[in-house]
Structure 1
Amino acid sequence: MLGRLHVLTDARPGRDAVAVARAALAAGAPLFQVRVEDGVHDRDFLDFAAEVRALCRVYGATCLINDRVDIALAVQADGVHLGAFDLPVSVARRLLGSSAIIGATSRDAAGARAALVDGADYVGVGPCYHTSTKDGLPDPIGPAGLELAAHVGLPAIAIGGVTLERVPELLEAGAYGVAVVGAVNSADDPGVATKALLKALS
């Protein structure tokens, strides 16, 4: 079953992403998505992904790799999350197999329907709000934009500027779950933040 809380790693310089992952997983985070900064060497990405994957195994959580099917294969992750310019879902499915979890990115209903046709297991919809954890993103779509993409037959995971306080309106708009970066990685206590998000999603 697809977890309703997706925690993304924040591997920007000066942050201990592995320690945050360990705390969030211990608090019950059901799914971790491994994301790194642009320009990170493949070997560093591989080593980091393998470390998070190992933690996910310890805690029985799902591990997805952002963008990179090859890294997912190398660390035996549970699947991938693909952006608009990554490999097509159909190609990733052929490489990873029928049991892999594959998410696709969308901003609107048309994109969500395309992800459904291509065989994605869920669609990440956003950015829902302004966020500082990733550069170069388009304008936020808000809950209203999310609602348009959330009713095409795929679980919709809201992403982009998601906070604990915003979870209720995202669920009301049709989100199946949420993906967070700062709400956990920048929290004083990532474990406490994770538990609060899980409670809001339950």
Structure 2
Amino acid sequence: MKVDNKSLLLYLVTDRSWLREESLISQVEKCLINGVTFLQLREKNLDDDSFLKLAVEMKELSRRYNVPFVINDNIDIALKSNADGVHIGQDDMPIEEAKKIIGGDKILGVSVGTVDEAILAEKLGADYLGVGAIFSTSTKKDARNISYEALKEICESVSIPVVAIGGINKDNIEELRGSGIDGVAVISAILAEKDIAKAANELKDICNKIF
């Protein structure tokens, strides 16, 4: 499925680390109301039944706000929940196999860190790329950092949309201006903030000015 570049402007990846007294659904809805344009459900520890139930709820929510919705890694859950697609990393299922399973009508996002990985991912059927980690991040401690020059080179090497991820927040996002990315994927920059709605709104305004 061809991904609209504009839908990648402010991409939210879910994380339960900052739920406080709130549900994940409630937090995500605040984000969608206040400017998030793309949603990825990332769950590493839920059992399959709970994961599927949550995925179905997230799909309904994303549809209400007309925002594309993908599942991190788990193609089975993505298909059962009728998510718009799946996002995989370099150590997950081979790209061509994932594309074959989900079919041409679903979105396939792929994480890359080099020009070679980016070119191959596009060739094998990726619809968009996630490039990172751009800055140091507490979410993925083992992630390698990608320089601005490398990020720009990746963007120039492919024709599909590119979103940057990893430690991006309102204080450093300006450093990505001119890199060629279509947007940023964030987690803590929104979900770790006390006022999630305000954080999403501020980031959306900044993204609109930069990208």
TM value normalised by structure 1: 0.91
The equivalent position to 1:151 in structure 2, one of 145, 151, 156, is 156
Q: Write the mapping of 1:8-23 to structure 2, written as runs, cut at 5 A.
A: 8-12=13-17, 14-15=19-20, 16-23=23-30
Is 1:164 aligned with 2:170? Answer: yes
Q: Is there any run of 5+ residues in structure 2 with no aligned partner, and where?
A: none
Which deviates more from structure 2 when the two are superposed, residues 192-201 or residues 59-68?
Answer: 192-201
The equivalent of 2:36 in structure 1 is 29
Corresponding residue pairs, total: 200
Amino acid at match of 1:149: I
Deviation at 1:14, TM superposition (A): 4.9
Q: Deviations over 1:11-36 (max 9, x none)?
A: 23855322210100111311110001
Deviation at 1:92, TM superposition (A): 2.1
The equivalent of 2:89 in structure 1 is 83
Amino acid at match of 2:88: L
* C-alpha distance in structure 1 between counterparts of 2:124 and 2:164, whole Å: 20
Tell me if the contact between 2:134 and 2:166 (Cα under 8 Å) persists in the aligned partners.
yes
Q: Is there any run of 5+ residues in structure 1 with no aligned partner, and where?
A: none
Deviation at 1:138, TM superposition (A): 2.9
* C-alpha distance in structure 2 between counterparts of 1:40 and 1:64, whole Å: 17
Tell me if the contact between 1:66 and 1:82 (Cα under 8 Å) persists in the aligned partners.
yes
* C-alpha distance in structure 2 between counterparts of 1:200 and 1:118, whole Å: 33
Q: CA RMSD in A?
A: 1.7
Which deviates more from structure 2 when the two are superposed, residues 87-96 or residues 58-67?
Answer: 87-96
Bigger relative contact order, structure 1 or 2 (CA pairs below 8 A, ≥6 apart): 2
What SS does structure 2 have at the residue aligned with 1:65?
strand
Deviation at 1:50, TM superposition (A): 1.7
Which deviates more from structure 2 when the two are superposed, residues 3-12 or residues 86-95?
Answer: 86-95
Deviation at 1:103, TM superposition (A): 0.7
The equivalent of 1:49 in structure 2 is 55
Is 1:98 aligned with 2:104? Answer: yes
Is 1:195 aligned with 2:165? Answer: no
What SS does structure 1 have at the residue aligned with 2:104?
coil
Q: Deviations over 1:52-100 (max 9, x none)?
A: 1121111111111001111110110001111112222222222222121
Aligned-pair identity (%): 33
What SS does structure 1 have at the residue aligned with 2:90?
coil
Which deviates more from structure 2 when the two are superposed, residues 149-158 or residues 59-68?
Answer: 149-158
Q: Deviations over 1:147-166 (max 9, x none)?
A: 22221222211001010222
What SS does structure 2 have at the residue aligned with 1:36?
coil
The equivalent of 2:186 in structure 1 is 180
Q: Write the mapping of 1:61-140 to structure 2, written as runs, cut at 5 A.
A: 61-135=67-141, 137-140=142-145
Tell me if the contact between 1:64 and 1:81 (Cα under 8 Å) persists in the aligned partners.
yes
Tell me if the contact between 1:12 and 1:36 (Cα under 8 Å) persists in the aligned partners.
no
TM value normalised by structure 2: 0.88
